[in-house]
Structure formats: C-alpha cells, structure tokens
Amino acid sequence: MTNTALLLERLGGLIQQSLREDAARHGLLPIHVQVLHYLAQANHYSNLPIAIAEYFGITRGTVSQTLAVLERRGLLCKAPDSRHGKRLRLSLTPAGEAALQGSWTGRLETALEGLSVGAAELDGTLRSLLAALQQINGQRAFGVCRQCAHFLTGDSGSQCGLTGEPLTTAQSGRICREWTAPVTG
Ligand code: SF4
C-alpha cells in the first residue's frame, strides 16, 4: 500500500468513526445519517430512492428499509412526483435538518480551514480521484450542478441543457445523478 492510499484509508476510517458517533447520538445507524446528508444535498432529479441506491452502491431493499426508519422517526417525508405518478420524491423534515446540526462535516470543515493548501486545488484533486474510482467501479459521478457539462447560463438565468428546465441558484449548487463531466482541453 502506498503512503497516499494509507492516508486515505485512515481518513476514511476517521470519518466512519465520526459517522457512527453522530448516528448513535440519534439512535440511528450510519447509513441513516448518510442518507439524510445525501438528501440535504441532492437536487430535484436526484431525491429518489433509486438515486440513493446508486449513490451509496446499496440495494433497493436496503434503501426501502432505511427510508422506512427515517420516515417512522419523522426525519423525512415522501411525496408523489406530480409528473411521474409512480415516483416518490424525498425531502428532509425540519427534524431531519436538525439531526444534521453539529455533525462530523462541521469538524472536517474546521480542519480544512486550517490547511495551507488551496481549497480549490484540493477539491480538484479529490474530485479527479473520486471520478477515477467511480469509473473503475462503474458508478455515476453525482457532481455539483453548476460544474456539469449540461449547465447553461444566459440573460434569463441558469438552465439544464439536458432537460431544458430552468435552474434556481439553490438547485445549481446541489448534486445531481445526471451530472456529466465537462470536456477539458
Ligand atoms: S445541468 Fe447537469 S447537473 Fe444540473 S440538473 Fe442538468 S444534468 Fe443535472
């Protein structure tokens, strides 16, 4: 194992430990908290059970069980999609949003602020590493909307070039299952 791989393993282990602690505080499992974090970031094309299965690489059965627990605990709600009758759109309730307060992500961001390396540079390196691993594993990239190849801006605002629909500023900062890497070079 290279030094970089070892460092990434240790970082992954620390994050998993923090996740377990956050989950235990709420009487939940780590995957429950991870799904809450995902839904807090997912855009309106990605707040679906199938997108959760793709994002975490878990089965639809595990997703159903997870969603049932979170719904029973009043942390998320399901609503039928007005345009696709069979689809269920998922969103956090105020209690779900409150459960994410004081989570491990805040501690990580504090640690990141203390680094001398530029945030954009680190972000770019980690994004490239993630994309390479996702390609090896055959997984979708789930990038931030405004960094997508289909993201369009004009005088009338932002728009998704894939669906032709307008995008709000809030939506353009969320992650999407249809995200496509821009062509560079
Ligand atoms: S521009 Fe890309 S990331 Fe944004 S909504 Fe469209 S497909 Fe998704």
CB-defined site of ligand 1, < 6 Å: 43, 45, 145, 148, 150-151, 160, 162, 176, 178-179
- Ligand 1, residue 177: give the atom nearest the CA: 8
DSSP state of 114: T
Whether 185 has a pLDDT exceeding 80, the answer reads no
Average pLDDT score, the chain: 92
- Ligand 1, residue 152: give the atom nearest the CA: 1
Q: What is the pLDDT of residues 19-42, one digit of tens each?
A: 999 999 999 999 999 999 999 999
What the block records as the tokens of 184 is: 């560079």
Better-scored residue on pLDDT, 84 or 44: 44
Q: What is the pLDDT of residues 67-124, one digit of tens each?
A: 999 999 999 999 988 777 788 899 999 999 999 998 988 888 888 888 888 888 888 8
* pTM score, whole prediction: 0.91
